[in-house]
Structure formats: C-alpha cells, structure tokens
Amino acid sequence: MSTDTLARLAAANPVPDLPDIEAPERLCRLIEDEPTPPLRQPRGRQAMGIPPRVLAGLLAAILASLAVLVLADGSSGPGVNVAAAAYAATSPGSGVLEAVFVTRLLDRSHQLGDSYSSREWIDPSAGRRRQRIVLGGSRGLTLPAPRHSGGAVTYELATSPGWVETWDDLGGDSKVVHRNRFSGDEGTGAARRGAGAAPLRRSPQEAQGIELYRRLYSERSLKLVGRERLHGRLLWKLESDVAFAVYSSRPHAKLVPLAAVVMLVDPATFLPVVERQISLTQPGHPVTMESDLRSYRRLPPNAASESLLTLSKQHPGLSVLTHARARTSD
C-alpha cells in the first residue's frame, strides 16, 4: 500500500515534465553584479574553539538580523516578481494615474533640444491616455521654425480605443484639435519576434513613460537583469531587449530592431523611476533618451479626472477636426 501510495502520488505530479529554463544570459548578468566569491579554506570541525552548533546558531542569528535589516531596506533579493510589482504599482485601480517625467535627449542627431518635460495621465481600465509634452522653454529649444512666442512648444496626444487626438501650439494649427481614427495599433499585428515575444512598435516616440512600462510588462518582454546604483540608491534593473522595431521596406521585409528599453525600478515603491531607450541601429548601442520620474499620483475616479484624458475637454475653446478615414501607424 505504501509503495502504491507513493506511486499514485508521483502520478499526480502537477509538473510532470521538466520545464524549459531561461537562457543563461540573464543569470550571467546577475552574477556579474556579484563580487567574485573568495575561495574558502577548508575548516576544521571547530573554529576558534567554538562548538559547531553554537557557531551555527551565532551565524543564523547574524544572518537573520542581516535579513531583517535588508528586508526593512527593501533592497533584498527580489522576493517578489519585480516587473509584476511595478506593474501593480502603476495600476491606478478605478482612477486615473498622473506621472511627470523629465526626458533628456542624448542623441544629438535630432533637433529637439536637450530635454523636455512630459505629463502623462492614464486610465488603463478604459484604455485611455493623454500625454502633454513641453519642448524647449528655458532648456535650449532648437526646433527649426516657426518659433513659438514663449520659447516653448506644447504638444499633446490623447488616445482612446480607436481614436487619437493631437494638438500643439506650434504655428497656425493651434486652434484645432485633430481627431483621427486609429486602426493600426502599435503592435502592428503579427510583428513578433517569435512565440511569446513582444509585439513590436514602429516608433519609440509612440509610447513613453508609465504607458510604455505597462505595455512592455503585459507583453512579457521585461526581464530582471540586475541592479544599478543611481544617486546612492540601488535600483532594480529591468530590460526589454527589443522594444521597438520596423519592417524594412525591401521585398520579403524583415523586422529591423530600432531600440531596446531599460527601466530602473525603485525597490521600496516599485515605481519605474528611470526609463532609458537604447538605439540598436547605431554603433555601440548608445542610450538616446533617459527619462526620470519626477512625480506620481493617483487621482480619484471623478469627472475632473476623466476630463484630463480628453483633449477637447482640456481645450474647450478649440475646434475639433475629425478625420473619419482610418490611418495606421505608418
């Protein structure tokens, strides 16, 4: 009966086959963060004359104290799935989430100046988002022309299922909110790197900030690759190896990777506090953009929060020009 019971238990194994494991690259990057372990000298049965049981007890007490300290600091081994925790931390529940980023443009090849600030409002449950980007101002705007009288340009983008609204105060179009049907989502259908891989976007400019983090997480493309010390704080480092790509225009088009993304996550709040975009098309894969999270808050679900997601409600004096014809992300 006993043997039979064990055999039946073995037959009820909930994971009967050995699962696949990740390629060792991520693990190797994790251990590269670790100091090389010193070679240990063989020890006798007693060290410093202390009996092994007492020594083990002392060590256990010290390790427990260290564990408490480390856990209290929030910088232990992950303990939780860091990517999932950050996703949860950026979920506003039934309200709207507001985040402010300052982005430094490190790629000198374009003419957008050295930095811009952006404010983002998202309601993931409704699939709605609005982003306001302020370029220039006192930060050395180098947009070619026409220059805005105040030295800064505001650009806004609001998305909701099936629609994109845009507005900017640059030039003569500043009295109009353009409303477009949007049929091609950023995932662009079957643009995938393989089974289970992330759908790929066409432009790094299309999504940033919290929204980008949440999309990469939901596409399961973020991996914990280690930790990084920034301004004295040890942050979790998540990476999406190819976050953006386009199809080449040649016959038998292939996917061309454009950019990877690195997110640094605060171990205490699990908020993604730094977002980096890394060019995969330039030699040496330089960081082209780095965004710092400056503030973050959840807004209650009410009419005022709702209105933050709609451009026409934020700019009631403007006319709305609806373009009924669907456009894609091309």
- Residues 209 and 271: their CA atoms lie apart, in Å, by 11
| CB nearer to other proteins: pick between 5 and 109 | 5
CB neighbour class for 268 (10 Å; exposed up to 12, middle 13-18, buried from 19): exposed
Residue 187 CB, shortest distance to other proteins, in Å, is: 17
330 part of the interface to other proteins, by CB under 8 A: no
Only one of the segments 11-19, 132-140, 178-186, 203-211 lies at the binding site for other proteins (rule: CB under 8 A); that segment is 11-19
Q: Is 19 in the site for other proteins (CB under 8 A)?
A: yes
Residue 75 makes contact with other proteins by CB under 8 A: no
CA distance 224 to 201: 21
Of 6-14, 105-113, 156-164, 255-263: span binding other proteins (CB under 8 A) = 6-14
> Which one of 26-34, 163-171, 200-208, 240-248 is the stretch in contact with other proteins (CB under 8 A)?
26-34
Nearer to other proteins, 78 or 137 (CB): 78
b/e per residue 243-254 (b: at least 16 CB within 10 A): bbbbeeeeeeee
Decide: is 76 part of the binding site for other proteins (CB under 8 A): yes
Task: Compare residues 12 and 324 and give the one whose CB is closer to other proteins.
Answer: 12
The 3-state secondary structure of 218-250, one letter per residue:
HCCCCEEEEEEEECCEEEEEEEEEEEEEEECCC
Give the position of tokens 């301004």: 231
The contacts of residue 221 (CB under 8 Å, 6+ apart) are 197, 198, 240, 241, 242, 243
At closest approach, how far in Å is the CB of 218 from other proteins?
Answer: 8
Q: At 141, is the secondary structure helix, strand, or coil?
A: coil
Q: Does 295 sit near other proteins (CB under 8 A)? A: no
- The binding track of 203-242 with respect to other proteins, each residue x by CB under 8 A or -, is --------------x------x------------------
Degrees (nearest 5) of the Cα angle 12, 13, 16?
A: 125
**What gap in Å lies between CA 243 and CA 249, rounded to an integer?**
19
Quick check: 189 and 82 in contact, CB under 8 A?
Answer: no
The interface with other proteins within residues 34-53 (CB under 8 A) comprises 34, 37, 39-40
Please report whether residue 79 would count as binding other proteins according to CB under 8 A.
yes
Residue with smaller CB distance to other proteins, 52 or 286: 52
Residues binding other proteins (CB under 8 A): 1-2, 5-15, 18-22, 24, 26-28, 30-31, 34, 37, 39-40, 67, 71, 76-82, 84-85, 87-89, 91, 93, 217, 224, 270
